[in-house]
Amino acid sequence: AAAEKAGYEHFMMKEICEEPKAIKDTIGPRIKNGRVVLDDIELTEEYVKNIGKIHIVACGTAYHAGVIAKYIIEKTARIPVEVDVASEFRYRDPIVTDKDMAIIISQSGETLDTLFALREAKKKGARVLSIVNVVESTIARESDDVLYTWAGPEIAIASTKAYNAQLCALYLLTLELAYKRGCMSEEQYKNIIEGLQTIPDAIEDILGNKGAIQRFASSHCNVKNIFFIGRGLDYALSMEGSLKLKEVSYIHSEAYAGGELKHGTIALIEDGTLVVCPVTQDDLMDKMISNIKEVKARGATVLAIARESNEQVHKVADEVFTIPDVDPFIAPVAAVTPLQLFAYYMAVVKGCDVDKPRNLTKSVTVE
Ligand code: AGP
């Protein structure tokens, strides 16, 4: 196994470093002459125009990719989307019709609840498209269409590169849906495709600066609680940042929508509480800056994830992990990487078993 780590101390770090490749392999073959070409799935214009509702179902990290997808599909393709964790969907008798599409997301393709949710959606008449990493897995085999993520084998229990690849597949799918429904201008379409193609370099850049994240983790590894706060896509991203951290470092953390702070959580902020704020969405920038000021006024230390040009954030936060200036719409694909690195370094400094956290398995195939 040491050999397979190719010189890295842990699979988790190796897999984070493989993200640029996972992204290139997932989007590369599906962009031809500046257009999204999804040869592997069947999405006729007539079908796409008549989709009633989309149900996205998954567990854990894959579920968090689904939450991002809800925002981007609704915003651009204007199709109503519901996102559920599989163990809720399968038991709540969800309202699904034969005009609906189900998107099932799974790295392993073997998660039991997700598989049963797939069967439930199918039984109710939905057409099932799955986004899966393991070729010919059970979920892949039972789906009407499969859009594979080409992230390669993921060994570490904490999912990293598979998430970035899931997001890429979901962005491509979103482009296809929005375009076929006539909801997206040529310019917007072109910008997103070009933007996605720049993400591998953006992540290389982030990886080149990982020392700063390591240093920050070393000096904050004794904290007992961490809050992740974001708005819009950054809220969805916060959920994933929080899960990653608790899985590998065993530090208690929670993710909240920025606007929810005042409704309870702010009571927990005291001197020295660490608050992590991804702030990549320009249209929500002012609101997030106010949130940062609010928690700082109560003694919090704020670590922000922001794009280079977001100077306002650099002015208010105590520490900023900077990411290159990618388009806010696709920012989560790159902005998750510093959060994964943060979780990784916190775990390493604390001496945790990074690749095999206690009580967890790679794929939950039991109830
Ligand atoms: C991710 O870091 C987790 N270990 C876990 O939440 C995982 O994403 C979840 O179990 C779903 O797995 P799947 O993608 O293989 O279905």
Query: 227 in helix, strand or coil?
Result: strand
What is the pLDDT at residue 2? 60
Q: How far is the CA of 212 from the centre of ligand 1 (A)?
A: 28
Residues having CB within 6 Å of any atom of ligand 1: 59-62, 106-108, 111, 114, 157-159, 247, 360, 363-364
Q: How many residues does the chain have?
A: 367
Atom from ligand 1 closest to the CA of residue 107: 14
What CA–CA distances, in Å, run from 148 to 11, 31, 83, 325? 22, 15, 20, 28
Q: How far is the CA of 44 from the centre of ligand 1 (A)?
A: 31
What is the pLDDT at residue 265? 86
DSSP of 58-99, one letter per residue? E-HHHHHHHHHHHHHHHHHH---EEEEEHHHHTTS-----TT
Going from the first residue of the chain to its last (367 residues), give the mean pLDDT of each consecutive group of 10, the final group possibly shorter.
82 98 98 94 94 98 98 98 98 97 98 98 98 98 98 97 98 97 96 98 98 97 96 98 97 96 91 97 97 96 96 95 97 98 98 93 88
Is the overall model pTM greater than 0.90, yes or no? Answer: yes
Residue with CA at minimum distance from ligand 1 atom 4: 158
Query: 283 in helix, strand or coil?
Result: helix
Residue with CA at minimum distance from ligand 1 atom 9: 60
Mutate to test the pocket of ligand 1, among 166, 363, 365, 367 (most ligand atoms within 8 A of CB): 363
Query: 278 in helix, strand or coil?
Result: strand
Residue with tokens 């106010």: 290
Conformational region of residue 162, where left means phi above 0, alpha means psi within -120 to 50, and beta covers everything else:
alpha
What is the pLDDT at residue 3? 61
Q: How far is the CA of 58 from the centre of ligand 1 (A)?
A: 9
What is the pLDDT at residue 1? 57
Q: How far is the CA of 129 from the centre of ligand 1 (A)?
A: 18
- Checking ipTM against 0.95, whether it exceeds it is yes
Atom from ligand 1 closest to the CA of residue 134: 15
Helices (H), the chain: 11-17, 19-27, 45-49, 60-77, 86-89, 112-123, 138-142, 161-180, 186-208, 210-220, 233-249, 285-297, 311-316, 332-349
Q: How far is the CA of 162 from the centre of ligand 1 (A)?
A: 10
Angle formed by the axes of helices 186-208 and 332-349, nearest 10°: 20
Q: Which of 129, 119, 137 is nearest to 173 (CA)?
A: 129
* 232/212 Cα distance (integer angstroms): 26
Residue with CA at minimum distance from ligand 1 atom 6: 60
Which residues are known to be catalytic? 362
Name the amino acid, one letter, at 18. Answer: E
Residue with CA at minimum distance from ligand 1 atom 16: 106
Residue with tokens 């493989």: 18
